[in-house]
Amino acid sequence: MLKHTIYLIIISACCCFTNNINAQSAPGLLGKRITVSYDFNTHFNYSAPNLRINENESALFDNSTFVNKHLFGVDYVLSRTMSIGIDYGFHNERLNDVEIQDNDFMHRVRTNETGLRLKVFPFEKGGIAPIGYYFQVRALRYSYRSEMELVPRGSSTLEEPFVFAFEDGVTYTGAFGFGRQGILFGNVMYNVGSEMTLVLTENAFLNLYDASLDLRNSLIIGNLFKLKIGIAVPIY
Amino acid sequence: MKKIIYLFSFLLLTFSTTAQNFDIDYEPLQAQGKIPKEIITASTTKYEQNKENITRQDDRKIRKDKDKFYLQSSFVIDEMMRSGRILFNDELSVYVNQVADKLLAHDEKLRKSLNFYVVKSPAVNAFATDRGSIFINIGLLARLEDEAQLAYVLAHEIVHYQKQHNIQTYVEFAKIERQNSYQRSRNYERLVEKNNYSKELEREADDEGLDIFLKSDYNFESILRVFDILDLAHAPYTNKVFSPTFLETPNIKFTSNYLLEQVDKIEPYETDSDESTHPSVSERRGKLLDQLIGKPEGQGQTYLVSEAVFKKVRKIARFELCNLFLQRQAYVPAIYHAYVLLQDHPNNHFLRKIVSKSLYGLAQYRNAERYNEINPYSYKDYQGEIQKVYYLFEKLEDNDLNVLAGFYAWKIHQEFPESKGLELMARDMIEDIVIYQIEEPFEFFKKERVGKLAKADSTFARYGFGDLIDNETIKKWLENGQKYRKKFADNDEYYDSKEGQKEQRKKKRQDRTKGKSLGIEKVTFINPMYVEINARKETAYRFVESEATQKKFKEWIRDNGERLDLNTEILDVNNLSSSTKSIEEYRNLVIMSDWIDEYLTHDMFMINSNYDEAVAIADKQGSDYFAYAGAISYRNYFNTMQMYAGIGYYIFVPPLGVKALIKSSYETLHFNLVFDVRQNKKVLSEVNFANYKGKDMIIRQNLYWSMLQMKREAEAATEE
């Protein structure tokens, strides 16, 4: 239901705002209206993982003070004050280690998100899309998968890692953010800003195991406030 | 070679019968021939050259002051020289140079180092720069009595150059400021000290100017009266009796309430005071008299070039004054000066147009309730016969002024039907009579008075047009006026309502976000500008950086034009060369700059006084559209909001907080105004203000947005 509601909102927004596409041409960046971007998002690691196993595990799974997310996007300038775009992001994070029945497990979560975003560059701030201060709304499909990997104790070893899926889910949600896009050099733009995403998982607050709580913290609280910095290049 | 050119010009001036025939018409002054290198050489180049004059003998602070002086003066003087107000190779400038030749016949080296120009300004003044350019205003030329007086004025200015008074003054003033910088209570004393220094330099210029003058073959007998001229600079050059009957017609009669019987005598204003930069005129006159006593009289000549040419040049200056007043919205002096010249040249087309255009201007500003802007002082603040003119227009009822202006606009339009500008003025004026004053013109206007003139009937508006009321064109314009009056009233009522205000806000928002679509194929940019100001530096105006970015700004215009397939041309003094082909471009630039200045000053719908000239240029350019674009980038220390944000940030994210607190505040203003000169209106007004640094790309982006709006076609009605 929520999914359908969000789809409806997105389509309505497109209909309202994209009547400009065929009518008057927007300036873009000296005529170039399509940009590709990469944003590096980071937020404080509220999970504060208490790692007992392999503390120095590969950086593929973040376990540091800040958790980082990578977001790739393509935007299209609709008008002087607006651009619309799609993006794809992912992050991998290590949560607190878990002990279940005298066994140690490494708890990890992988997320990815696909979103549709609308950036508005208020006239009063003097910018012209895609340059200037903006605020942004995103509708996204957020999926997560957490898994546990058994770590044998003592000297016993396993022929292959034993991994099982703990929790996974998909949620449709929204995000709000603001920032500023400017010119770094030549035609390359920079983007700095922040974003707040509301992630509600289907089983929120029902599963009270510590691992679940950990996951909730990571997904919900972790996404509440992120800082971002990125670059973008106009291509057409 | 110079002498041959001057001789040829002199012969042309004296014997030409086709140049200015004042009985018929007058052509306003324009620059001629090759553009002097001084005007087209980059200011940065001149600054670098001037810097070579700074020697290591001066102490560090003085070297720094001199550097700042050369920087500022190079750019400021060039700004004036490129403004279009400077004349060169025209009749007046040629004559002034010839007088200078005679004055400095004994010192060729000094003569070669000097350039003389005439300035299109009504102010009674002359001035010199340290790089050898000497300027004399038309306002002063119009008043001089003979050639010897002109020579004396030039001699005075030459001394300012010889002694490098400008830079001396700058350095001395900086020294005075440094000595007293911590003592705020001594502001007035500092001012007095500076003014005393200025006065000393003026005295030196008077004394040594006299030496130069006496070495020449000029006769000194008339030069004392130069100070009389300066003393009475606040009044017109003549006190010819003004008779308002020259504006009257059989149906337009000024009753006694419009006429001033007694005027104040013309007397000098000036007294020496601590707040004056020049010694008093009486002191200067007295000193000159002392210096001349004992000198043998009857030696030398009053005219070494030509008396006939001097009188012609002075007459041209007097005619030009009328034009200058009109351009500056000084409509009352324009009328008075035109009146004076009309006594000798009653059929002169130019003068009659000046009167009509000035009446139009007065009525327009009166209707817009802005009369005080163009006439801020009461008639009592003036002296002499011109008081009558100020009095007349101050007292004229709105109806009467409108009818007077409308009648004259119509009359002049009939006399010069080929002038579209005059036709538009007549139409605008007659429509405005109804829009602003007379709601039911067909009931109000009468062809003639019926019966005796009633005592209380002090206005003539009802009868002013006479039989013209039956003219079909006038009737049509009056009907238009009625339609517009109703439409404006309906609009006012609607836009005062909540619904109307909502619609206005919506439209404003739409205009800002969607922009306009003008469908322009070709546009000419006039003098694009870029200014960089950094309030954190001692010399806030960043001259060199501004000039460099200004060049880039022009490249961006061309680049954007190519991207958008918009035909762009740039008329800019910096693009010109000293080839003779450039002079036409320069003149076009001057006319269009004047047109834009006048339009922006009026800031309301009003036909510009040089409408016909501007449209002629539009025809030559192949486009009616002219743009004035630029950017101002301003950098300051952080602002208050930023400080609060910084403190807020600091609590949560210290690095961001520190950055916010130390980061300076940037503001950029970008503007692009596009005008349709044939319609006499502004079609695009983009003024964007951004709180970030005027980085190149941001300015280019704004420029691109403006140019996109010029190029793209309007939406079809169905799509809307």
Q: What is the pLDDT of residue A76?
A: 95
In A, which residues are within 8 Å of B688 by CB distance? Answer: 126, 128
Give the separation between CA A72 and CA A61, rounded to whole angstroms.
Answer: 19
Taking residues A62-71, what's their average pLDDT?
76
Would you call B691 and A125 a contact, using CB atoms and an 8 Å cutoff? yes
Which residue in this structure is represented by tokens 């289907």? A202
Considering CB atoms only, which of B563, B712, B715 is closest to A30? B563
Q: Which residues contact residue A185 at a Cβ distance below 8 angstroms, ignoring those fewer than 6 apart?
A: none
Most confident of A225-234, B226-235, B331-340, B444-453: B331-340
Inform me whether the C-beta atom of residue A3 falls under 8 Å from chain B C-beta atoms. no
pLDDT greater at residue B695 or residue B2: B695
Q: Is residue B718 part of a domain?
A: no
Asked if residues B80 and B72 have their Cβ atoms less than 8 Å apart, the reply is no
Handedness of CA B527, B510, B677, B29 (dihedral sign): negative
Q: Before B296, cis peptide (omega within 30)?
A: no
Q: What is the pLDDT of residue B455?
A: 46
Model confidence band, residue A16 (pLDDT cutoffs 50, 70, 90): very low
Asked if residues B173 and B214 have their Cβ atoms less than 8 Å apart, the reply is no
Would you call A132 and B690 a contact, using CB atoms and an 8 Å cutoff? yes
Asked if residues A217 and A47 have their Cβ atoms less than 8 Å apart, the reply is yes
Q: Is residue B246 part of a domain?
A: no
Would you call A128 and B705 a contact, using CB atoms and an 8 Å cutoff? yes
**ipTM of the complex, rounded to two decimals:** 0.79
Q: Is residue B593 part of a domain?
A: yes
Structure tokens at B335: 């009328």
Would you call B697 and A126 a contact, using CB atoms and an 8 Å cutoff? no
Which residue does chain B place closest to A182, by CA atoms?
Answer: B698
Cα-based distances in Å from A119 to A31, A129, B16, B682, B701: 18, 9, 70, 32, 18
Model confidence band, residue B706 (pLDDT cutoffs 50, 70, 90): very high
DSSP B346: T
Question: How many angstroms separate the first and last alpha carbons of chain A?
Answer: 37
Would you call B514 and A79 a contact, using CB atoms and an 8 Å cutoff? yes
DSSP A73: E
Q: What is the pLDDT of residue B717?
A: 34
Within 13 Å and on the Cβ side, how many CA atoms surround A20?
22
CA angle A75, A80, A83 (to 5 degrees): 20
Would you call B704 and A183 a contact, using CB atoms and an 8 Å cutoff? no
Q: What is the pLDDT of residue B452?
A: 47
pLDDT greater at residue B2 or residue B343: B343
Residues B296, B345: one domain? no
Q: Which residue, among B509, B490, B510, B532, has the nearest Cα to B694 in the 3D structure?
A: B532
Interface test with B, best of A131, A133, A224, A236 (most B CBs within 10 A): A131
Would you call A27 and B517 a contact, using CB atoms and an 8 Å cutoff? no
Interface of B with A in 497-526 (CB under 8 A): 509, 512-515, 517
Report chain B's mean pLDDT, rounded to a whole number: 87
How many helices, marked H, and strands, marked E, lie in chain B?
Answer: 28, 10
Asked if residues B350 and B334 have their Cβ atoms less than 8 Å apart, the reply is no
Would you call A24 and B695 a contact, using CB atoms and an 8 Å cutoff? no
CA distance B603 to chain A (A): 24
Q: Among residues of chain A, what percentage have pLDDT more than 70?
A: 72
- The dihedrals phi and psi of A195, each to the nearest 5 degrees, come to -150, 150
pLDDT in tens, A78-102: 988 899 999 999 988 888 777 777 7
Asked if residues A75 and A49 have their Cβ atoms less than 8 Å apart, the reply is no
Q: Which residue, among B644, B578, B587, B633, has the nearest Cα to B610 in the 3D structure?
A: B587
Would you call B690 and A125 a contact, using CB atoms and an 8 Å cutoff? yes
Would you call B515 and A24 a contact, using CB atoms and an 8 Å cutoff? yes
Which residue does chain A place closest to B704, by CA atoms?
Answer: A30
Q: Among residues of chain B, what percentage have pLDDT more than 70?
A: 89
Q: What is the pLDDT of residue A160?
A: 66
Would you call A128 and B563 a contact, using CB atoms and an 8 Å cutoff? no
pLDDT in tens, B416-445: 999 999 999 999 999 999 999 999 999 888
Would you call A80 and B517 a contact, using CB atoms and an 8 Å cutoff? no
CATH of A35-234, one of 2.40.160.20, 3.40.50.1000, 3.50.50.60, 3.40.367.20: 2.40.160.20
| Cβ atoms within 10 Å, residue B298 | 6
Assess whether pLDDT exceeds 50 at residue B213.
Answer: yes
Assess whether pLDDT exceeds 60 at residue A5.
Answer: no
Inform me whether the C-beta atom of residue A35 falls under 8 Å from chain B C-beta atoms. no
Domain limits, chain A:
35-234
Would you call B668 and A24 a contact, using CB atoms and an 8 Å cutoff? no
Considering CB atoms only, which of A23, A123, A131 is closest to B719? A23
Question: How many angstroms separate the first and last alpha carbons of chain B?
Answer: 67
In A, which residues are within 8 Å of B700 by CB distance? Answer: 30
Inform me whether the C-beta atom of residue A122 falls under 8 Å from chain B C-beta atoms. no
In A, which residues are within 8 Å of B690 by CB distance? Answer: 125-127, 132
Residues B492, B523: one domain? no
Inform me whether the C-beta atom of residue B719 falls under 8 Å from chain A C-beta atoms. yes
Inform me whether the C-beta atom of residue A126 falls under 8 Å from chain B C-beta atoms. yes
Would you call B517 and A131 a contact, using CB atoms and an 8 Å cutoff? no
Residue type, B661: L
Q: Is residue B262 part of a domain?
A: no
Inform me whether the C-beta atom of residue A132 falls under 8 Å from chain B C-beta atoms. yes
Beta bridge partners of A172: A141
Residues B202, B82: one domain? yes
Residues B487, B524: one domain? no
Instruction: DSSP for B379-418, please give it.
Output: GGG--STHHHHHHHHHHS-HHHHHHHHHHHHHHHHHH-TT
Considering CB atoms only, which of A24, A29, A126 is closest to B688? A126
Interface test with A, best of B509, B659, B684, B698 (most A CBs within 10 A): B698
B680-689 b/e with 16+ CB inside 10 Å = b? bebbbebebe
Which residue in this structure is represented by tokens 């899309």? A129
Considering CB atoms only, which of B560, B695, B708 is closest to A25? B708
Task: Determine the 3-state secondary structure of B666 from DSSP.
Answer: strand
CA distance B636 to chain A (A): 18
Asked if residues B470 and B440 have their Cβ atoms less than 8 Å apart, the reply is no
Give the separation between CA B622 and CA B585, rounded to whole angstroms.
Answer: 14
Q: What is the pLDDT of residue A148?
A: 83
Residue type, B552: K
pLDDT in tens, A44-62: 776 665 555 555 554 455 5
Asked if residues B524 and B571 have their Cβ atoms less than 8 Å apart, the reply is yes
CA distance A73 to chain B (A): 22
Residues B488, B525: one domain? no
- The dihedrals phi and psi of B676, each to the nearest 5 degrees, come to -105, 105
In B, which residues are within 8 Å of A191 by CB distance? Answer: none
Residues B409, B474: one domain? yes
In B, which residues are within 8 Å of A27 by CB distance? Answer: 701, 704-705, 708
DSSP B260: -
Residues B545, B684: one domain? yes
pLDDT in tens, B47-87: 888 888 888 888 888 888 888 888 888 888 888 888 889 99
CA distance B576 to chain A (A): 28
Which contiguous run of DSSP H or E holds residue A181? strand A162-185
Q: Is residue B113 part of a domain?
A: yes
Residues B446, B483: one domain? yes
| Domain total in chain B | 3
Give the separation between CA B121 and CA B29, rounded to whole angstroms.
Answer: 12
Give the separation between CA B335 and CA A137, rounded to whole angstroms.
Answer: 64
Which residue in this structure is represented by tokens 């929120």? A204
Q: Where are the alpha helices (DSSP H) in B497-624?
A: 498-514, 543-564, 582-602, 611-621
pLDDT in tens, B569-590: 999 888 887 776 789 999 999 9
Would you call A123 and B560 a contact, using CB atoms and an 8 Å cutoff? no
Would you call A182 and B702 a contact, using CB atoms and an 8 Å cutoff? no
Assess whether pLDDT exceeds 50 at residue B198.
Answer: yes
Residues B436, B568: one domain? no
Report chain A's mean pLDDT, rounded to a whole number: 77
For chains A and B, CB pairs below 8 A equal 64
Q: What is the pLDDT of residue B647?
A: 66
Taking residues B255-281, what's their average pLDDT?
85
pTM greater than 0.90:
no
Inform me whether the C-beta atom of residue B342 falls under 8 Å from chain A C-beta atoms. no
Residues B366, B283: one domain? no
pLDDT in tens, B619-669: 999 999 999 999 988 887 766 666 666 666 556 655 556 656 656 677 888
Which residue does chain B place closest to A126, by CA atoms?
Answer: B690
Residues B95, B216: one domain? yes
In B, which residues are within 8 Å of A180 by CB distance? Answer: 692
In B620-717, the DSSP E strands lie at: 625-636, 665-676, 681-690
Domain interval for residue B99: 2-232+274-313
Give the separation between CA B521 and CA B623, rounded to whole angstroms.
Answer: 8
Bridge-based pairing of strands A98-100 and A82-94 is unpaired
Residues B64, B183: one domain? yes
Q: Is residue B309 part of a domain?
A: yes
Cα-based distances in Å from B360 to B365, B473, B481, B703: 9, 19, 16, 36
Assess whether pLDDT exceeds 80 at residue B617.
Answer: yes
Which residue does chain A place closest to B711, by CA atoms?
Answer: A25
Model confidence band, residue B17 (pLDDT cutoffs 50, 70, 90): very low
Q: Is residue B251 part of a domain?
A: no
In B, which residues are within 8 Å of A123 by CB distance? Answer: 509, 512-513
pLDDT in tens, B107-116: 999 999 999 9
Q: Which residues contact residue B123 at a Cβ distance below 8 angstroms, ignoring those fewer than 6 apart?
A: B137, B139, B140
Which residue does chain A place closest to B519, by CA atoms?
Answer: A24
Last residue of a domain, one of B313, B329, B362: B313
